[in-house]
């Protein structure tokens, strides 16, 4: 049996569908593109959804009427800038939605007028079963459809027969094809993707219009976005502040009348708009949409905004060991000679026994021998025609038979029995040491004949679960944020403890069963903590459903995807950490801009009122630190600043406040220092500068 080292080849997509458009950094051109939609949002039915901006809209209408009835330069300019305030608030939301619509347009490219080959009988294994061609829209739950090379999968489902290479670039943006096969946890396929090879039979698991692509389109366009609990609570708070400021402004009229002067209704309306929290009221929706947008950029589909928000409040992360904390496959990390065998001799035998072993472990052994011992990574002419002995569950060994030399590697008990070794104390000691360190020992032996005659044990290959670079640092950052990390593995307790210590996780669950995961999540939640976890199999479904943030892999079963509240289209288990960071960034951005807005409104209150009443109460002139010229210029400057600050903060609302892992106390200090202090200082500087320009306007 010859040894082959040719790279596997397969059909490539000749015309791949376009990848989803990632919403990149904010560009000023997006403002112009979103302007028509912002104008459409001036509809009072749309404005009524946002209590704060609805008050501004009503005030704009009122001031416009007053400007028409009693025209003046001041009245017209105030009316114009109040309408700009409403428009700019709409613009923030329209820009956020526009970025999503660009992604939706790309996603729609995956939804073609595909005709499905539906089986008439329920016999997926029968290649001669009768078929009928129907439009995708007519497919129903449970229908069986046949998809062959070059055809588009008509809907979301599970492969029930066959195996095929699938191009998912239309959904994930990843050009490398993936394997989908019947049975196991890699059977799920997504509508709109393309089969590159072979033939599969898919059982449809979603109704028309409810596929992942449909849900992603609705999500990124904002149609499916519902306000999260924190967002609703903040809206209630902003509404309460608006009512308080409304009562305060209303009280000014009788108080000024009692003092012998009259404050015009136009001035009171403008003052109200300047004092209510218009900044955060205008940007709140855009912040939520942008947070969902950042998830979609990373190919994560959230079924609700609540899940994104919960990700920012997570206290405990449950992470699978394999593929998340460690690389997906064990790798050769060391060679241990026995009986006086040198490492060079052991390396030569280990390489020979692994030349035709195409498992990840086998390839890693060849790579180790090549990198550390200078051996050729490819088979020479004599080795290429040697007889390869594959691994079987019965022998628990593999190797190679050369002329005059036989080499075997495998489980310690199996190789030692094959080699008929009498004194195995040294081998047992090394095997036990490797196991205690969390590794997997493979014993290597050489003999004169395939039956083990003249065998000699050469040493032990150590296979290790290699922790991914930087994982310990990321866990340390999570710990600084107060998030507890828990490694879940099916390994024995000794191995699990060794890997957990190396990775730096806070806790681990060894020999984990689905019941163990579910019980652990419930215990954490009983203590008032929020839990996030990933999973891909049907046995993960109960835990995914119980977790506050359950991230199902797109390659997993339909049961897992239905149980979770997020689906990772890239099927990358480490993305759970990114999801938590996105949730944190969403909450931090909302908190930072709320802090800025409240401080901003408070500063405007003390900036405007002294200038307004300095004529009535001359002593207030001491508080007019900005030297505003007249009450009219003060009001107009504040209205202009109020509108422009919304535009200035749109990029920050869309990009999000930069995320730095730190404690809640540290985040609070930073918010108060940067955004609280900034919210106080900015209005004084901005209104003073605008006042200098307003003085130049005739009639003010």
What are 168's two structure tokens?
A: 């998912």
**Do the Cβ atoms of 162 and 201 come closer than 8 Å?**
yes
Eight-state DSSP code of residue 697: S
Ligand-binding annotation for 626, yes or no, is: no
Q: CA 163, 165, 167 angle in degrees (round to 5)? A: 140
Beta strand 456-464 with 331-337: parallel, antiparallel or unpaired? antiparallel
Query: What angle do the packed helices 425-436 and 412-419 form, to 10 degrees?
Result: 170
Buried b (16+ CB within 10 A) or exposed e, 227-244: bbebbeebbeebbebbee
Ligand-binding annotation for 26, yes or no, is: no
Question: How far is it, in rounded angstroms, from Cα 314 to Cα 483?
Answer: 7
Ligand-binding annotation for 391, yes or no, is: yes
CA 643: distance to chain centroid? Answer: 33
> Which residues are paired to 167 by β-bridges?
194
Ligand-binding annotation for 604, yes or no, is: no
Ligand-binding annotation for 398, yes or no, is: yes
In the numeric block, the tokens 């009768």 are attached to 130
φ, ψ of residue 659 in degrees (nearest 5): -90, 125
Eight-state DSSP code of residue 21: P
CA 599: distance to chain centroid? Answer: 32
Phi-psi region of 206 (alpha: psi -120 to 50; beta: other; left: phi over 0): beta
Cβ neighbours of 478 (radius 10 Å):
21
Ligand-binding annotation for 409, yes or no, is: yes
Ligand-binding annotation for 227, yes or no, is: no
Question: What is residue 389's three-state secondary structure?
Answer: strand
Question: How far is it, in rounded angstroms, from Cα 317 to Cα 76?
Answer: 57
CB within 8 A of 42, min separation 6: which ones?
57, 86, 87, 90
| Counts of helices then strands in the chain (DSSP H, E) | 24, 21
What are 574's two structure tokens?
A: 């480490």
Cβ neighbours of 150 (radius 10 Å):
12
Cβ neighbours of 612 (radius 10 Å):
24
Q: Any idea which residues carry the catalytic annotation?
A: 320
**Do the Cβ atoms of 182 and 162 come closer than 8 Å?**
yes
Eight-state DSSP code of residue 467: B
In the numeric block, the tokens 């104008």 are attached to 39
Ligand-binding annotation for 396, yes or no, is: yes
Q: Which helix (H) or strand (E) holds 580?
A: helix 575-613
**Do the Cβ atoms of 282 and 646 come closer than 8 Å?**
yes
Ligand-binding annotation for 397, yes or no, is: yes
Ligand-binding annotation for 536, yes or no, is: yes
Ligand-binding annotation for 235, yes or no, is: no
Ligand-binding annotation for 392, yes or no, is: yes
Cβ neighbours of 691 (radius 10 Å):
24
> Which residues are paired to 133 by β-bridges?
117
Ligand-binding annotation for 167, yes or no, is: no
**Do the Cβ atoms of 452 and 418 come closer than 8 Å?**
yes
Q: Which residues are annotated as a binding site for ATP?
A: 357, 361, 391-398, 409
Q: Which residues are annotated as a binding site for Mg(2+)?
A: 536, 540
Q: Which residues are annotated as a binding site?
A: 357, 361, 391-398, 409, 536, 540
């Amino acid at each position: 049996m010859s040894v082959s080292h040719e790279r596997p080849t397969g059909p490539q997509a000749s015309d791949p569908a376009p990848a989803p458009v990632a919403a990149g950094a904010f560009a000023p051109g997006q403002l112009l593109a979103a302007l028509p939609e912002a104008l459409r949002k001036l509809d009072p039915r749309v404005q009524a959804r946002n209590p704060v901006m609805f008050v501004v809209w009503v005030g704009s209408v009122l001031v416009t009427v007053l400007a028409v009835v009693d025209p003046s330069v001041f009245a017209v300019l105030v009316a114009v800038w109040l309408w700009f305030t409403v428009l700019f608030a709409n613009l923030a939301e329209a820009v956020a939605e526009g970025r999503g619509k660009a992604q939706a347009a790309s996603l729609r490219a995956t939804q073609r007028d595909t005709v499905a080959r539906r089986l008439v009988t329920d016999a997926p294994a029968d290649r001669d079963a009768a078929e009928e061609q129907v439009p995708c829209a007519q497919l129903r739950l449970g229908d069986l459809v046949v998809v062959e090379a070059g055809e588009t999968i008509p809907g979301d489902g599970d492969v029930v027969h066959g195996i095929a290479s699938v191009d998912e670039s239309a959904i994930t943006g990843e050009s490398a094809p993936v394997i989908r096969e019947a049975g196991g946890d890699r059977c799920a396929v997504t509508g709109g993707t393309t089969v590159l090879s072979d033939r599969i039979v898919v059982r449809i698991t979603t109704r028309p219009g409810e596929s992942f692509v449909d849900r992603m389109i609705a999500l990124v366009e904002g149609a499916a976005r519902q306000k999260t609990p924190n967002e609703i609570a903040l809206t209630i708070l902003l509404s309460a502040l608006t009512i308080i400021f409304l009562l305060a402004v209303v009280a000014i009229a009788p108080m000024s009348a009692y003092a012998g002067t009259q404050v015009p209704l136009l001035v009171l309306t403008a003052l109200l708009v300047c004092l209510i929290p218009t900044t955060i009221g205008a940007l709140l929706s855009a912040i939520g949409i942008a947070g969902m947008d950042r998830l979609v950029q990373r190919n994560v589909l959230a079924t609700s905004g609540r899940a994104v928000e919960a990700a920012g409040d997570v206290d405990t992360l449950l992470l699978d060991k394999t593929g998340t904390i460690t690389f997906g496959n064990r790798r050769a990390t060391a060679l241990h000679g026995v009986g006086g065998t040198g490492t060079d001799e052991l390396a030569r035998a280990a390489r020979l026994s692994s030349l035709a072993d195409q498992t990840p472990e086998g390839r890693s052994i060849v790579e180790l021998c090549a990198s550390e011992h200078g051996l050729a990574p490819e088979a020479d002419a004599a080795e290429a025609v040697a007889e390869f002995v594959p691994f079987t569950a019965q022998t628990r060994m593999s190797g190679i038979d050369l002329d005059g030399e036989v080499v075997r590697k495998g489980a310690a008990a199996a190789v030692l029995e094959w080699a008929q070794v009498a004194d195995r104390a040294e081998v047992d000691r090394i095997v036990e040491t490797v196991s205690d360190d969390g590794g997997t020992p493979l014993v290597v032996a050489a003999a004169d004949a395939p039956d083990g005659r003249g065998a000699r044990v050469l040493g032990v290959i150590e296979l290790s679960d290699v922790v991914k670079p930087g994982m310990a640092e990321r866990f340390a950052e999570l710990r600084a944020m107060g998030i507890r990390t828990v490694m879940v593995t099916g390994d024995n307790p000794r191995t699990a403890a060794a890997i957990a210590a190396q990775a730096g996780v806070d806790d681990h669950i060894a020999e984990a069963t689905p019941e163990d995961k579910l019980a652990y999540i419930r215990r954490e939640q009983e203590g008032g903590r929020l839990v996030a976890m990933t999973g891909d199999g049907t046995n993960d479904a109960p835990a995914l459903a119980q977790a506050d943030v359950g991230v199902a892999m797109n390659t997993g079963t339909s049961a897992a995807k239905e149980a979770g509240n997020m689906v990772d289209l890239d099927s990358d288990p480490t993305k759970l950490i990114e999801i938590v960071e996105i949730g944190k960034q969403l909450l931090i951005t909302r908190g930072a801009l709320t802090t800025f807005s409240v401080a901003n409104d408070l500063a405007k209150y003390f900036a405007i009122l002294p200038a307004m009443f300095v004529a009535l109460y001359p002593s207030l002139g001491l508080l007019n630190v900005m030297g505003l010229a007249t009450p009219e210029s003060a009001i107009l400057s504040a209205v202009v600043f109020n509108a422009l600050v919304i535009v200035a903060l749109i990029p920050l609302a869309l990009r999000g406040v930069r995320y730095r892992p730190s404690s809640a106390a540290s985040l609070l200090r930073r918010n108060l220092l940067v955004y609280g202090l900034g919210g106080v200082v900015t209005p004084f500087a901005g209104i003073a500068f605008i006042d200098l320009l307003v003085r130049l306007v005739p009639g003010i």
